[in-house]
């Protein structure tokens, strides 16, 4: 059993959890993820780590409640326990000295992007941060990102705060020499970022989070096509070259179980528990 040391609601339905998990905390590098189960009947929930504290023996994740399992997790409180926690999984993000690195995050994935941005900053890069959300009151981890970025931009889809959409990226690409772009967030956003950087030949790393089951390369659920090759996001990624990813296929695969997911959520919200 793993204990919830801290739970904090960042915005409605997006919670930060700090779990006591010393053996994972000491091994984790930015970009890696865990898979947890709330209870014996619980589905496996992959979450990318947003920070670790090896001395305290804790890991931090931020979870958006989008369906039944994430809602179940969101209903737990400090002091509660979850059944199991597997990790660290996936390849660590490449943290090198690249020069000017632009870190673009959207929605809940701004939290794990912070972990990478912090490491890139510590490695001596000039880090430019750009974070976004659908609307102003959905923005998370703004202060954390500001702390590790040398320059910082905010954007919202509806224009309620900062730039509307990715206008800041277009301006930066035209005016500056960017050495590397790292993007984590909704697929459509990562696809758009990759399309914008392609004409400038800026290496662009995207973080792919397809449906996963075992997280260890055995079930094939997380397969993605990158550069015409079939790869498994859980062991070959989750970071890939954004200019090589087949985003259309990824989007189609993510919608594969939508009817069942909607049904499970409705049933759970109405008081059922076993779907």
Residue ranges that bind ligand FAD, judged by CB under 6 A = 33, 43, 45-48, 61-64, 66-70, 108, 112, 209, 211-212, 238, 254-255, 258, 261, 264-265
Q: Tell which positions 25-64 bind ligand FES, by CB under 6 A.
A: none
* 43-48 CB contacts, 8 Å cutoff, 24+ apart: 43/68, 43/69, 44/212, 44/213, 44/215, 45/69, 45/70, 45/73, 46/89, 46/209, 46/212, 46/215, 48/109, 48/112, 48/184, 48/207, 48/209, 48/238
What is the spatial distance between Cα 45 and Cα 191, in angstroms, rounded to a whole number?
24
* Contacted entry of ligand FAD, ligand FES, none for residue 217, CB cut-off 5 to 8 Å set by kind: ligand FES
CA distance 92 to 172: 27
Q: Which residues pair with 3 in a beta bridge?
A: 81
37 is written with which tokens?
A: 């189960």
**Residue 90 Cβ, how far from ligand FES at the closest point, in Å?**
9
Please list every residue from 155 through 214 that binds ligand FES, using CB under 6 A: 212-214
If the CB atoms of residues 127 and 239 are measured against ligand FAD, the closer one turns out to be: 239
Q: Which of ligand FAD, ligand FES, none has residue 157 at its interface (CB below 5 to 8 Å by kind)?
A: none
Of 5, 24, 182, 234, the one binding ligand FES (CB under 6 A) is 234
Largest Cα–Cα separation, the chain: 55
86, with CB counted inside 10 A (0-12, 13-18, 19+), is middle
Cis peptide bond prior to 88, omega within 30° of 0? yes
Binding of residue 106 to ligand FES (CB under 6 A): no
Q: CB-wise, 90 or 129, nearer to ligand FAD?
A: 90
232 binds, among ligand FAD, ligand FES, none (CB under 5 to 8 A by kind): ligand FES
- Cα distance between residue 210 and residue 252, in whole Å: 10
d(CA 49, CA 36): 12
Taking CB within 5 to 8 Å according to partner kind, which of ligand FAD, ligand FES, none is near residue 219? ligand FES
SS3 category, 206? strand
Residue 106 or residue 237: which is nearer to ligand FES going by CB?
A: 237
State the binding partner of 43 from ligand FAD, ligand FES, none, CB within 5 to 8 A by kind: ligand FAD
Among ligand FAD, ligand FES, none, what binds residue 128 when CB lies within 5 to 8 Å by partner kind? Answer: none
- Phi then psi for residue 85, to 5 deg, are -150, 120
Which CB atom, from 163 or from 267, has the smaller least distance to ligand FAD?
Answer: 267
Residues 205-224 that bind ligand FES (CB under 6 A): 212-215, 217-222
Residues that bind ligand FES (CB under 6 A): 212-215, 217-222, 232, 234
């Amino acid at each position: 059993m793993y204990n919830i040391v801290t739970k904090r609601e960042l915005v409605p339905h997006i919670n930060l959890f700090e779990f006591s998990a010393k053996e994972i905390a000491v091994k984790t590098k930015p970009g890696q993820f865990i898979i947890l189960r709330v209870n014996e009947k619980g589905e496996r929930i992959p979450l990318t780590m947003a920070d670790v504290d090896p001395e305290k023996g804790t890991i931090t994740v931020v979870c958006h409640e989008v369906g039944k399992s994430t809602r179940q997790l969101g209903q737990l409180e400090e002091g509660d326990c979850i059944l199991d926690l597997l990790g660290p999984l996936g390849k660590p993000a490449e943290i090198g000295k690249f020069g000017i690195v632009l870190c673009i995050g959207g929605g809940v994935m701004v939290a794990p992007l912070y972990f990478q941005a912090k490491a890139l900053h510590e490695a001596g890069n000039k880090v430019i941060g750009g974070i976004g959300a659908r609307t102003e009151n959905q923005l998370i981890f703004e202060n954390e990102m500001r702390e590790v970025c040398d320059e910082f931009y905010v954007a919202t889809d509806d224009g309620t705060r900062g730039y509307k959409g990715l206008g800041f990226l277009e301006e930066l690409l035209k005016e500056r020499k960017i050495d590397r772009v790292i993007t984590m967030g909704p697929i459509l956003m990562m696809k758009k970022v990759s399309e914008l950087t392609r004409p400038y030949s800026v290496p662009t790393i995207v973080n792919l989070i397809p449906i996963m089951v075992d997280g260890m390369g055995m079930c094939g659920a997380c397969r993605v096509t990158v550069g015409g090759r079939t790869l498994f996001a859980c062991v070959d990624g989750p970071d890939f070259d954004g200019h090589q990813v087949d985003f259309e296929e990824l989007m189609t695969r993510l919608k594969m179980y939508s009817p069942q997911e909607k049904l499970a959520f409705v049933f759970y919200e109405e008081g059922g528990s076993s779907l």
